[in-house]
Amino acid sequence: MSGFLSDLVQYRKLLLMIVVLGIGGTHLSGFQMSVINYTSPYIQKFLNETWLERYGSVLHQETLTLLWKKCLLLNDVILIIATLHTGFSRTAKSFEMILVGRFLEGICAGIHLGTHVQYAGEISPKKLRGFINVTSSVFFALGKTVARILGLRDLLGTEDRWNVLLSFSGLVALIQLLFLPFFPESPPYLLLQKGDKAGCLKAMKQLWGEGNYHTEFEDLMKEKAITKGTKIMNVLEVLREPSVYPQLITMLLLLLSLQLCGLSAITFYTSEIFQTANLQESIIPYVSLGVSVSELISVIFCSSIIDRFGRRILLCGGYLLMALILVLLETSLLLSDQFLWMRYCSVVLIFLFIIAYGIGPAGAVSSVTNEIFTLSTRASAFVIGGIVIWLGLTFTGMIFPFAVMLLGPFCFLIFIAVLIISAILIYLFLPETKGKSISEITEEFKTRQFKKKRHQAVEVNATEEKTFCTKL
């Protein structure tokens, strides 16, 4: 641990860069995801009152729901303008400003999510690559936590201040806008795309301090040799490139397992689960805040151990532990009517599930997806991954309520199955990326693909020989 702390001191300029990057990056995505839970009752009331004042009639519940779904689905290109729309919507008595603001905020959140993860991965030295990659998850969890804190009724989660809460993200966007221009482009981009060796070395020293970065520079030169003559590929080109398929399939497996692990359902419906456990209404917001704080602390802990234990252990172990906790959670929910103390077990198990998620897959997934792609394919791969993430969130958010109505507590069996299958597939097919250069990781994917083809060829030959002998 002392060695890890000394590394952090050495790379203090890089850490400052990560903070500036994070508060305007995944922090915004996490904030936008959580803040709407605290403002939705007041916004729906505002929609109804505005409609009544304009047209002299009350909105039908179906129309109100339709308007509100648009606001959710069209959830960060100019975030400050977006937050000005939401911030002054009450003054202007215009619910349309909320729709426009949330639409722009949604775009910005999607852009920030992808660019933050990619940039953080490119500016990290090899010895701290896992730690730096996990910071995107740290700031995502921080965004959700800040939203929950500010959303308390003691602060901004009131009918008089909900518009101020919605516009808070404009402040962090302004901070990033002011400070980010003082930091350099990423060393891989300068060398591989611009061909600027001097600029690459200068950026390394600016970000990492004075030192010998011969190993990192050589790794970039190897990647440049591998991708020589290859330009940055767009999404369609990546989808048509067979050599990238193993990495794409791996990324999709990781992202889908993350979306269907049960976390999104628990995050979106924490309050409902606590109500099912018969907790008092007044303490539910504070318990929900405790869940977010637990996720934040556990992801920070993950960032400190990922470069020691590797990615595969955290992923497989995390998913299996989460599956076990969900089994116990389902059992406690089924028995909560018979044994009153079981309601408290459900609350404790939700906390344990969040902690297991934070220590394991929350950070490891973002690290692996950053490490398995070359610079020429990474941006487009992240676009594909971003689409999968948001479709997964939408799918889970829309389907889970119906699954609860149809299956009750048994709905968690779906997530248990996903977790177990994901752990097995990761163990079988995901190479360890800890401490390896992109050229080494790419070669390992090729080796695994070659072994698979060779095994299939041996089986085909054996079948043909058996058929030939039978004919004889």
- The whole-number average pLDDT for the span 113-131 is 80
CA distance 114 to 117: 6
**Residue 326: Cβ within 10 Å count:** 23
Residues 242 and 378 in one domain: yes
Structural domain range at position 326: 237-461
pLDDT tens sequence across 237-246 = 888 988 899 9
pTM (2 d.p.):
0.75
Residue 231 in this model has a pLDDT that exceeds 80 = no
Residues 286 and 414 in one domain: yes
- Residue 449 is predicted with a pLDDT of 61
In three-state secondary structure terms, 430 is coil
* 197 or 270, higher pLDDT: 197
In a domain, 230, yes or no: no
Number of structural domains found in the chain = 2
- Residue 463 is predicted with a pLDDT of 53
Residue 76 in this model has a pLDDT that exceeds 50 = no
Calculate what percentage of the chain has a pLDDT beyond 90: 13
Weakest-pLDDT range from 75-79, 149-153, 238-242: 75-79
Residues 165 and 264 in one domain: no
Residues 407 and 280 in one domain: yes
Residues 166 and 282 in one domain: no
Q: Nearest to residue 346, comparing CAs of 273, 288, 403?
A: 273
* 294 or 82, higher pLDDT: 294
- Residue 8 is predicted with a pLDDT of 67
- The whole-number average pLDDT for the span 64-89 is 52
The whole-chain average pLDDT of the chain stands at 77
In a domain, 223, yes or no: no
In a domain, 127, yes or no: yes
Residues 44 and 149 in one domain: yes
- Residue 313 is predicted with a pLDDT of 93
Phi, psi of 178 (to 5 degrees): -80, -35
Residue 130 in this model has a pLDDT that exceeds 80 = yes
Residue 193 in this model has a pLDDT that exceeds 80 = no
282 pLDDT tier (thresholds 50, 70, 90): confident
Q: Of 165, 183, 201, which residue constitutes the final position of a domain?
A: 183
pLDDT tens sequence across 328-379 = 988 887 887 787 777 778 888 889 999 999 999 988 998 898 888 887 888 8
Asked if residue 207 lies in contact with residue 128, where contact means CB atoms within 8 angstroms, the answer is: no
CA distance 101 to 74: 9
Residues 262 and 145 in one domain: no
CA distance 2 to 77: 43
- The whole-number average pLDDT for the span 163-181 is 77
Give Cβ neighbours of residue 312 (< 8 Å, ≥ 6 apart): 426, 427, 430, 432
77 pLDDT tier (thresholds 50, 70, 90): very low
Weakest-pLDDT range from 304-308, 309-313, 330-334: 330-334
Token output for 260:
């269907």
Give the residue ranges of DSSP H helices in 408-437: 412-429
In a domain, 221, yes or no: no
In a domain, 1, yes or no: no
72 pLDDT tier (thresholds 50, 70, 90): very low
- The whole-number average pLDDT for the span 430-456 is 74
pLDDT tens sequence across 8-22 = 666 777 888 788 777
26 pLDDT tier (thresholds 50, 70, 90): confident
Residues 145 and 273 in one domain: no
Please report, for the domain that includes residue 455, its CATH number: 1.20.1250.20
- Residue 292 is predicted with a pLDDT of 85
40 pLDDT tier (thresholds 50, 70, 90): low
CA distance 248 to 172: 33
Residues 256 and 339 in one domain: yes
DSSP string, 232-280: PP-HHHHHT-GGGHHHHHHHHHHHHHHHTSSHHHHHHTHHHHHHHTT--
In a domain, 206, yes or no: no
- Residue 189 is predicted with a pLDDT of 80
In a domain, 225, yes or no: no
Residue 106 in this model has a pLDDT that exceeds 70 = no
Q: CA angle, 138 as apex, 127 and 426 as ends, to 5°?
A: 70
* 322 or 215, higher pLDDT: 322
Q: Nearest to residue 36, comparing CAs of 149, 158, 166?
A: 166
Residues 243 and 366 in one domain: yes
75 pLDDT tier (thresholds 50, 70, 90): very low
Q: At what angle do helices 169-179 and 12-23 cross, to 10 degrees?
A: 140
Residues 138 and 266 in one domain: no
Residues 117 and 247 in one domain: no
Residue 67 in this model has a pLDDT that exceeds 70 = no
Residue 74 in this model has a pLDDT that exceeds 70 = no
Q: Of 145, 165, 183, which residue constitutes the final position of a domain?
A: 183
- Residue 111 is predicted with a pLDDT of 67
Q: Of 137, 158, 183, which residue constitutes the final position of a domain?
A: 183
Taking every pair of C-alpha atoms in the chain, what is the biggest distance, in angstroms? 91
86 pLDDT tier (thresholds 50, 70, 90): low
- The whole-number average pLDDT for the span 463-468 is 50
Residue 134 in this model has a pLDDT that exceeds 80 = yes
In a domain, 252, yes or no: yes
Residue 99 in this model has a pLDDT that exceeds 80 = no
- Residue 166 is predicted with a pLDDT of 75
Weakest-pLDDT range from 55-59, 76-80, 305-309: 76-80
418 pLDDT tier (thresholds 50, 70, 90): very high
- Residue 468 is predicted with a pLDDT of 41
426 pLDDT tier (thresholds 50, 70, 90): very high
Weakest-pLDDT range from 109-113, 228-232, 464-468: 464-468
CA distance 114 to 119: 9
Asked if residue 109 lies in contact with residue 76, where contact means CB atoms within 8 angstroms, the answer is: yes
